[in-house]
Structure 1
Amino acid sequence: MYHLGLSGGQQKHFDQFATYINTNVERLPIIFMLGFFVTLVVNRWQKIYESLGWIEDTALLMSCLIHGDDEETILARRAIRLREKIPGDPSLQSCVQEVKRFRDFMQTLSNYDWVPVPLAYPQVVFFAFLNIYFPLTTSLQFVFYIGWMKVAESLLNPLGEDDDDFETNYLLDKNISTAMAIVDSTSQKHPPLIRDRFYHHKYLPGLKDDEEDIVGSVAHLKMPNDEPRLSISSIRQSIRSLRKRIQPEAVDDSEISHKI
């Protein structure tokens, strides 16, 4: 297009325009805006994922603390409110804390759904990329920046109906069915304690019997047998020879022994 569709004067004006844009485009904080936007979206997505409510902890706690198979107790476990069925105040406090934690997660999800990301952030980022970076930067830079922006755009609303969003309908159905099964049909019904198939085995099959010990880096180092060994007499002889080279006078052996 540049070589075939433009004349010589048009190519010159295009080169001047491209040079001007490439020189002054660094004044726009594109990287800062994109990094801030992506960080905000990723932190939001992570917080939403951590706040998804899983009912197993609450249901298991209620099933362990509330005993009984009569209809009133079963209804109390399902409603999570009863009198003279919880063993004591610590157990009651544990129940309340677990219910409160689950409610806090639900409130966090509600807050994120209630207050979306301000429109100024995505609009500024999308406008800057679509009007500046696409026609004037290199293809590699375009792929990296637009790909980064698309990742943030796909993570912007994880509770939607896209293929990559969370399966909230499955989570709600699963929480209801699991909670009702824990506090109703399977409560206080434990399997009998019997000897398993590995009772008479000394070690469980499939496990590695021979473990590798921690070996030092020079554990297998072999020293040559003909290597001269240092001794007190050899050290004295070396010091005596060195003293004679430095100071020709005689050196007292007792002084050398005392210093060694």
Structure 2
Amino acid sequence: MTVTYTAAVASSSIGCFLKLLFRWRGSLYKLLWREFLLFTIAYYTLSILYRFALNDTARMIAKYCQEFGNLIPLAFVLGFYVSVVVARWWEQFNKIPWPDRMALFVTAHVHGHDERARLMRRTMMRYLCLAFVITMHSISPGVKKRFPTFTHMTQAGFMLPNEQKVIEDIKTPHNKYFVPLVWVTSLVTRARKEQKIKDDFAVKTLTDEINAYRGCLGGLFNFDWISIPLVYTQVVTWAAYTFFFSCLMGRQFVDAGKTEDVFIPVFTFLQFFFYMGWLKVAECMVNPFGDDDDDFDINSVIDRNLQVSYLIVDEMHSELPELIKDQYWDEKRVRTSIHSGIRVL
């Protein structure tokens, strides 16, 4: 689940962001401590060798790495790559379909308090939620682990046994997320024929919303299908690891006669935190439907969508609080005439 910290920085003050530096979950330290430990061990191992065991030829290699390692355009490559990944991450979140809008249309346009009308409303929303589950089953490892087969979806209440048989009998090599959407569209048509929906405009409204919902599901499939080109991911990874491999050799103390010995390379370590942290941001966000701290908790979204959908179209259908005059009902309103400037009581 995405780590939320906005409440901790609700007001700007001195050191507003400093309080966030000591959090562990979703932090830079949690992502980097293993890599940083390996980098530190490798650095000091080479440092001991450079100081006590290696000859002048090895020291020349260190100077060579120091001089030419900085030619790797790491900041440019990483910066552009991370900006693409973050934009893609946010677009994927915006593509997650929420059934609330459809639920409001259903409760407004599918009339009736009898069992048949209630069944239609609930089934429409269940089919929409089922389409989302089937879609995320192909994209999210967490959802696939929770619903590995259609049988598990039936056991969870998203499908009935007869519906499971129908969807399993459909022979297609493609993902079957569209099947529940066909069912809900047919159900809208049936509700119109049975006069549960009063006019054709309401049918069009519901159908347009189903198509918009399908568009979001199709968008999620597109993001899963078309990734950031592998060659660019490889370039970024090679650039980062090659740069810091050169730092292991190039940032050593090798010239005792001209340079002050700095046993702790503070700025090299800071570079490691900044650049490798940047790379870890990309690794965590390139697939937001995984199991990282900042990935989307789709299973909780699935549960929430079904609960809220049933609440809107069933329990709250046509239920209104009693209409009572509000506390300002008897107050006189003062209006200002725009043209004459006269105040009218």
Tell whether 2:284 aligns with 1:154: yes
CA distance in 1, matches of 2:48, 2:218: 61
- One-letter identity of the residue aligned with 2:305: N
Q: Percent identity?
A: 35
Are the aligned partners of 1:67 and 1:188 in contact in 2 as well (CA < 8 Å)?
no
Tell whether 2:56 aligns with 1:56: no
Tell whether 2:300 aligns with 1:177: no
**Which residue matches 2:223?**
112
**Which residue matches 1:141?**
271
- TM-score norm. by structure 1 comes to 0.66
Unaligned runs of 5+ in 2: 1-43, 125-183, 252-267, 332-345
**Which residue matches 1:18?**
62
CA distance in 2, matches of 1:3, 1:177: 60
**Which residue matches 1:189?**
319
CA distance in 2, matches of 1:14, 1:201: 91
Unaligned runs of 5+ in 1: 203-260
Query: Which region of structure 1 is more displaced relative to structure 2, 165-174 or 118-127?
Result: 118-127
CA displacement, residues 132-170 of structure 1 (integer Å, 9 cap, x when unaligned): 325246222222111111111111111112332111011
DSSP-derived class of the 1:193 partner: coil
TM-fit CA distance, 1:88: 2.9
TM-fit CA distance, 1:97: 1.8
TM-fit CA distance, 1:14: 4.8
- TM-score norm. by structure 2 comes to 0.51
Are the aligned partners of 1:133 and 1:142 in contact in 2 as well (CA < 8 Å)?
yes
CA distance in 1, matches of 2:297, 2:51: 56
CA displacement, residues 206-243 of structure 1 (integer Å, 9 cap, x when unaligned): xxxxxxxxxxxxxxxxxxxxxxxxxxxxxxxxxxxxxx
CA displacement, residues 165-220 of structure 1 (integer Å, 9 cap, x when unaligned): 11101111111111122112221111111245x45897xxxxxxxxxxxxxxxxxx
Are the aligned partners of 2:74 and 2:243 in contact in 1 as well (CA < 8 Å)?
no
- One-letter identity of the residue aligned with 1:73: A
DSSP-derived class of the 1:67 partner: coil
- Pair 57,4 (structure 1): closer, same or farther in 2 beyond 3 Å: closer
- Map residues 1-260 of structure 1 onto 2, 5 A cutoff: 5-6=49-50, 10=54, 12-78=56-122, 79=124, 80=184, 81=188, 82-83=191-192, 84-134=195-245, 135=248, 136=250, 138-195=268-325, 198-199=327-328
- Pair 54,3 (structure 1): closer, same or farther in 2 beyond 3 Å: closer
> What RMSD over aligned residues (CA atoms) do the two structures have, in Å?
2.9
- Pair 8,70 (structure 1): closer, same or farther in 2 beyond 3 Å: closer
Which is higher, the Rg of structure 1 or of structure 2? 1
DSSP-derived class of the 1:6 partner: helix
Structure of greater relative contact order (alpha carbons < 8 Å, 6+ residues apart): 2
Number of residue pairs aligned between Structure 1 and Structure 2: 202
DSSP-derived class of the 1:54 partner: coil
DSSP-derived class of the 1:16 partner: helix
DSSP-derived class of the 2:113 partner: coil
